Structure 1
Amino acid sequence: MQIAYRTDPGKVRSNNEDSIGVFNDHDCLLAIVADGMGGHAAGEIASKMAVDFSSVRWTEREKTLSKEEAELWLNHLVRGVNLKLYEYAETHEACHGMGTTFAAVYCTSEFMIVSTVGDSRVYKQTKNHRIVQITEDHTYVNELVKSGQITEEEAEVHPKKNILMRSLGTEPTIALDTVTLDWSDCTHLLLCSDGLTNKLSNGKLSEIMEHEATLHEKTEMMIREANNAGGEDNISVIIISKDGDGEKQ
């Protein structure tokens, strides 16, 4: 496996509230995109704390986990991050209400465990080169789509599309969306914050992924295209390749 990643503040915001974590050893890796939220610098604190906590847990884990053990470990990690952030916000007045999205993949050459909270996404690129979203946005607008009140096209321009229904750190407990997949119909994984997906369609993401370029160059292309489309938000991208094409960052 190979991995490339980049985060960028975008063209409008002076600070970057996104954080990326990439941890790799023993033929397995953990990749995380966290998009923080909250007043002042609280969003930046939340996303960084989420990644830093994950780093500690990564070093403490058993080095070789079965598929079932990896799913249990990742679920424990997400719950642990949530409680850590919640307790910190409760005891630091400036951070009251802070939170973060969390898109995480525990990946080996045989399987991947995906868990997300919020609207940071994980996609897979299939062997026929299609980009398919394998996570669900925990947003108010997505609830409207699921209940049939609006269409997916209307959701793209809805004024409340950024309202989250679920995030880490805002409540003491959290509902989890965790799924286990294998590589049978998948060549690449893409993790990203909504600073990318609010600007680039699935078609555009597929087009970039199909370029004859290294993984690092593809992350650069995605950042550049999102910034060219306005760049109003922070942008974070991680690409994982099973077959090892591209550059390891």
Structure 2
Amino acid sequence: MSDNTPSDLNTLYFDVATAANKGGRDYQEDTLISGFAFGQNYGFAILADGMGGHAAGDIASALVAAEVFAHFQMNASSLEDGSDVLPLILRDAAEHANVRIAAHVKQEPSTKGMGSTLLAPVFSGNRLSWISIGDSPLLLFRDGALRMLNKDHSMVPQIELMVKTGALAPEAAINHPDSNTLLSVVDGNEIAEIDCPDTPIKLLPGDIIVAASDGIQFLSNEEIANTLKKFQNTTSAQITDALLDALLNLNDPAQDNISFIVVMIGENIKDKSELNPDQMPVLAVASEPSEGQVEEPAPKEKQTILQKYFYRGKEYAKEVEVKKTDDDEGQYYYYRGQRYKREDK
């Protein structure tokens, strides 16, 4: 559930970084678009993992990502506000991308069979919405725990279920021939399954979101979680570097294309940019007077007299300060503005 109060839209900011590598493949079939403007609490990512071989996989992912991006630009205000029609906009974007693929295949019959996954998370203040088709994971790291937010439209969940129920041996599941089979893709035909929740999730400061192609899953979930925990107090750029290094250090010749975006959720950037004097170093703290310590005497009140004077034949009086020392005390007196010395009797 999300709180739709306007203040919530201004409570978070995003630290974003991306990474891409062709891995062990000869070419890159992933397309990744990042749509975050500096200083804004709104943004989106579009990730498409193409299939169809060198002749069409990269084209399919590019077409899907471009079509979704154009649709997002046309509906930017609704995406930014996180309005209730956002799920409809996301689904409509996917349908437009699907029509675009169908038109391309019709024009270029040699590309029949091309297609792409689609993962598009949208960040509207503290709310996260998404549309997902295929097996590109959308991950949330919060309080040390890694969760997958979207549904996996591949055979992997079914294979894992077979292992849990004892219908399949764990070692047989590792290299199962159907593990890469997709149950839903954007390929110009009717889209079998779409994951697009009607209700967004609420983001919290400290959350880390990772949207990736399935190439990131050459790392185990534990390895991803440990990397995020180790670098959670750094920057998104350092996290992307750490994840990419971990993948490349596997030296797996079968490594799939790698593309991912890391979005770190922080407190409002405006609050962070304001100087807070309470956070500045304290130079000294005034102490209370100790017992027996003599405090400074209060200053003596000024003493004044009325002094008369004459101007143009008229008598006037003005108040003047009497400056006297301790030695003067009791030795003089004043009468009608004049000073007289007191005579001892």
Q: Contact conserved, 2:27 with 2:54, CA < 8 A, in 1? A: no
Corresponding residue to 1:18 among 20, 30, 36: 30
**Structure possessing the higher relative contact order (Cα contacts under 8 Å, 6 or more residues apart):** 1
Q: Deviations over 1:25-52 (max 9, x none)?
A: 5631111221100033200001111111
- Corresponding residue for residue 195 of structure 1: 215
Q: Cα gap change, 1:29/1:150 in structure 2, threshold over 3 Å: closer, same or farther?
A: farther
Q: Cα gap change, 1:159/1:16 in structure 2, threshold over 3 Å: closer, same or farther?
A: same
Q: Is 1:161 aligned with 2:179?
A: yes
Once the 2 structures are TM-superposed, how far is the Cα of residue 158 of structure 1 from its aligned partner? 1.6
SS of the aligned residue for 2:128 comes to strand
SS of the aligned residue for 2:119 comes to strand
Amino acid at match of 2:213: S
Corresponding residue to 1:236 among 250, 255, 259: 259
SS of the aligned residue for 2:181 comes to coil
Q: Is 1:129 aligned with 2:139?
A: no
Q: Deviations over 1:4-60 (max 9, x none)?
A: 1111101x2121001101113563111122110003320000111111112211221
Q: Distance in 1 between matches of 2:92 and 2:71?
A: 10
Q: Distance in 2 between matches of 1:216 and 1:155?
A: 34
Corresponding residue to 1:6 among 15, 19, 22: 19
- Corresponding residue for residue 44 of structure 2: 30
- Corresponding residue for residue 225 of structure 1: 246
Bigger drift between 200-209 and 66-75 goes to 66-75
Please report the TM-score for the alignment, with normalisation by the length of structure 1: 0.88
Corresponding residue to 1:52 among 46, 66, 88: 66
SS of the aligned residue for 2:177 comes to coil
Corresponding residue to 2:223 among 191, 194, 204: 204
Q: Contact conserved, 1:89 with 1:169, CA < 8 A, in 2? A: no
Amino acid at match of 2:221: N
Q: Contact conserved, 2:82 with 2:127, CA < 8 A, in 1? A: no
Once the 2 structures are TM-superposed, how far is the Cα of residue 119 of structure 1 from its aligned partner? 0.8
Q: Cα gap change, 1:114/1:150 in structure 2, threshold over 3 Å: closer, same or farther?
A: farther
Q: Cα gap change, 1:122/1:186 in structure 2, threshold over 3 Å: closer, same or farther?
A: farther
Once the 2 structures are TM-superposed, how far is the Cα of residue 174 of structure 1 from its aligned partner? 4.3
Please report the TM-score for the alignment, with normalisation by the length of structure 2: 0.65
Once the 2 structures are TM-superposed, how far is the Cα of residue 100 of structure 1 from its aligned partner? 0.6
- Corresponding residue for residue 96 of structure 1: 112
Q: Distance in 2 between matches of 1:7 and 1:152?
A: 31
Once the 2 structures are TM-superposed, how far is the Cα of residue 186 of structure 1 from its aligned partner? 6.9
Q: Deviations over 1:97-129 (max 9, x none)?
A: 100111110112221112211111101011x12
SS of the aligned residue for 1:123 comes to strand
- Corresponding residue for residue 280 of structure 2: none
Once the 2 structures are TM-superposed, how far is the Cα of residue 134 of structure 1 from its aligned partner? 1.2
Aligned length: 242
Q: Contact conserved, 2:212 with 2:259, CA < 8 A, in 1? A: yes
Q: Is 1:79 aligned with 2:116?
A: no
Corresponding residue to 1:110 among 111, 123, 126: 126
Q: Deviations over 1:152-187 (max 9, x none)?
A: 775443222111111112414443111221115971
Q: Distance in 2 between matches of 1:111 and 1:141?
A: 29
| Unpaired stretches in structure 2, ≥5 consecutive residues | 1-13, 269-345
Once the 2 structures are TM-superposed, how far is the Cα of residue 94 of structure 1 from its aligned partner? 2.3
Q: Distance in 1 between matches of 2:118 and 2:16?
A: 18
Computed over aligned residues only, the root mean square deviation of the Cα atoms, in angstroms, reads 2.3
| Unpaired stretches in structure 1, ≥5 consecutive residues | none
Corresponding residue to 1:139 among 154, 173, 188: 154
Q: Distance in 2 between matches of 1:56 and 1:135?
A: 23
Amino acid at match of 1:86: A
